[in-house]
Structure 1
Amino acid sequence: MSKSQTATSHPGRRRTGPPVGMPGAEGKRIAERRLGIASAPVRHERFSEQVYDGLFHSIMSGKLGPGARLPPEIELAAMFGVSRPVVRQALDRLRREHLVESIRGSGTFVCADPPPMPVVPLARSAAAMSHFLHGLELRLVIEPECAYLAALRRKPEHLQVMREMLEGFERASQRGDVAHHFDFGFHQAIADATGNPRMAHTLESLEYDLSHAVSLWRHLARVKPAHDLQAALDEHRAIYRHIVDRDQEAARRAMRGHLENARIRLLEVGGDI
């Protein structure tokens, strides 16, 4: 994405009203798409941390790619329902970490090649690790059954989305770009293919918590090892083949194995914490 492009999806819920110029619920929905993160209320005790977390997640998950321009401060303040000084604190922290850079007269942009970072304090928290592992346990309960039902009920349009996510994952991996949004998009496409909106909604509700944890771990290593990305991609392809073949049991087993392997890979990345 070039610096002339502006981010198009939004990470946080505005507590006090819609974004500037946007009325009511429609404004809130548009705001929630601006940086690509599910809405979450900004808690009073740490306004700037919540703004930082939302922007950090968008950058690390690839939804704000290298060179992407962030919305102006006044828009970010409206999106998060905070003051402009609070937004500036979050942006200052991102600048110190070399994740964004500000160009006078042009705006604030995601750095083209952010450097490796030291251990993220939140990643050291036992509570954060516990929360993350609980989310993975829930996925191990839900997603193998999603794969089973997707193999039974999938339609051509579902397979098309899965293919697009696989191809996007592969392209991003080859370029060395963050591929998380394609990774989770593949899983979401499988949940959608179950034809059960409650399953799809449950998985969607996990996206922010889990992908934020994934972002933290990937931030420690900056980029996942190439063999890990290739392993995950190969596992996705196997799941896809079983769904195409309508082999429900094989799809279920492949999904469970993939999630177990993902847990091991992510814990290995965080092993030095």
Structure 2
Amino acid sequence: MRTQLSTDALALAAAGLGPVRQERFAERVYENLFHAIVEGKIAVGSRLPSENDLATLFDVSRPIVRQALDRLREDQLVESRRGSGTYVMDSPGVAGKSAAAEPSERIGHIMNGLELRMVVEPECAYMAALRRSTADLTRMDELLTGFEEANAVGGIAHHFDFGFHEAIATATANLRFVQVLKTLEYDVSHAVNMLRHLMHIQPWKRTQDAMDEHRNIFELIKRQDAEGARRAMRGHIENARSRMFNSRPGL
């Protein structure tokens, strides 16, 4: 029988956090908590649920939770207070660094990642349209539905967004594309939201436009329109760049 969750942990469950897939446990838990913090699902100054509660929430072991919390501490998003628990920090990521230089460095990192995505992902979509299996299409459709449902209730949609791009790479039947996409997609979205958090800008929101673009790419891959899928993915990456940086001049 599963342990009953505390009120704090139930609140995170209501925001869309929950059990993660079998692979990369600590990374998945970290990603969920990271995006919950930078998107404001967990308020600055609030205490995270206990390790036991988080382990129950994500259906993982306590050592996995500790690994995820260690990464959040390295990001300076949370801090541990002896005898009290783990709290979301007010001024993350800038201690011991130049606050002015940090955003500039991150912007360069993000732009490099987007430039590489512009080269890789349209070709992934092209090859996925030619090689996709019924199982690939089913997985993409499930992720699109999860994305739309999470977004509709203000939940954490990152893992559905990321998963859709990863599913397209998987459909190419080329493991190298999958490996590159796992690095790029996570790295860019992580860097964007950390940057916006550092600069006290509202987090990047996944919009209806983004979901519509995903659905269009899916339909083109389903119809095996390889050229159309390539064009649609290129347009999606270009639009994603605009959406990521549209809340502040120069960002």
Band the TM-score falls in, shorter-chain normalisation: 0.5 to 0.7
Match of 2:33 among 29, 36, 59: 59
Could you report, residue by residue, the CA deviation over 1:2-41 in whole angstroms, capped at 9, with x for unpaired residues?
727897669xxxxxxxxxxxxxxxxxx97x522417xxxx
Q: Report the 3-state secondary structure (helix = DSSP H, G, I; strand = E; otherwise coil) of the residue aligned with 1:178.
A: coil
Match of 2:188 in 1: 210
Match of 1:251 among 220, 229, 238: 229
Is 1:191 matched with 2:179? Answer: no
Q: Report the 3-state secondary structure (helix = DSSP H, G, I; strand = E; otherwise coil) of the residue aligned with 1:176.
A: coil
Match of 2:59 in 1: none
CA distance in 1, matches of 2:142, 2:163: 9
Match of 2:25 in 1: 33
- The residue identity in structure 2 corresponding to 1:188 is E
Match of 2:144 in 1: 166
CA, structure 1 residues 176+198, in 2 after alignment: closer, same or farther (shift >3 Å)? same
CA distance in 1, matches of 2:81, 2:144: 31
CA distance in 2, matches of 1:103, 1:175: 35
Match of 1:182 in 2: 160
Match of 1:26 in 2: none
CA distance in 2, matches of 1:188, 1:170: 17
Q: So what's the TM-score if we normalise by structure 2?
A: 0.68
Deviation (angstroms), 1:244: 0.6
CA, structure 1 residues 147+179, in 2 after alignment: closer, same or farther (shift >3 Å)? same
CA, structure 1 residues 172+223, in 2 after alignment: closer, same or farther (shift >3 Å)? farther
Match of 1:79 among 57, 67, 82: 67
Structure 1 alignment gaps of length 5 or more: 11-28, 38-54, 81-85
Q: For 1:147-166, what aligned pairs fall within 5 Å after superposition?
A: 147-166=125-144
Over the aligned positions, Cα root-mean-square deviation in angstroms equals 4.3
Match of 1:90 in 2: 73
Match of 1:230 in 2: 208
- The residue identity in structure 1 corresponding to 2:35 is S
Could you report, residue by residue, the CA deviation over 1:128-183 in whole angstroms, capped at 9, with x for unpaired residues?
11111100010000000000000000001111111111111111111112311111
- The residue identity in structure 2 corresponding to 1:79 is Q
Q: For 1:100-179, what aligned pairs fall within 5 Å after superposition?
A: 121=99, 124-179=102-157
Could you report, residue by residue, the CA deviation over 1:21-73 in whole angstroms, capped at 9, with x for unpaired residues?
xxxxxxxx97x522417xxxxxxxxxxxxxxxxx5x5424359976984647x
- The residue identity in structure 1 corresponding to 2:25 is R
Deviation (angstroms), 1:224: 4.0
CA, structure 1 residues 249+33, in 2 after alignment: closer, same or farther (shift >3 Å)? same
Moved more, 125-134 or 136-145: 125-134
Match of 2:58 in 1: none
Deviation (angstroms), 1:78: 6.7
Match of 1:46 in 2: none
- The residue identity in structure 2 corresponding to 1:186 is F
Could you report, residue by residue, the CA deviation over 1:65-86 in whole angstroms, capped at 9, with x for unpaired residues?
76984647x8479738xxxxx9
Deviation (angstroms), 1:123: 8.8
Structure 2 alignment gaps of length 5 or more: 53-61
CA distance in 1, matches of 2:28, 2:227: 33
Q: Report the 3-state secondary structure (helix = DSSP H, G, I; strand = E; otherwise coil) of the residue aligned with 1:173.
A: helix
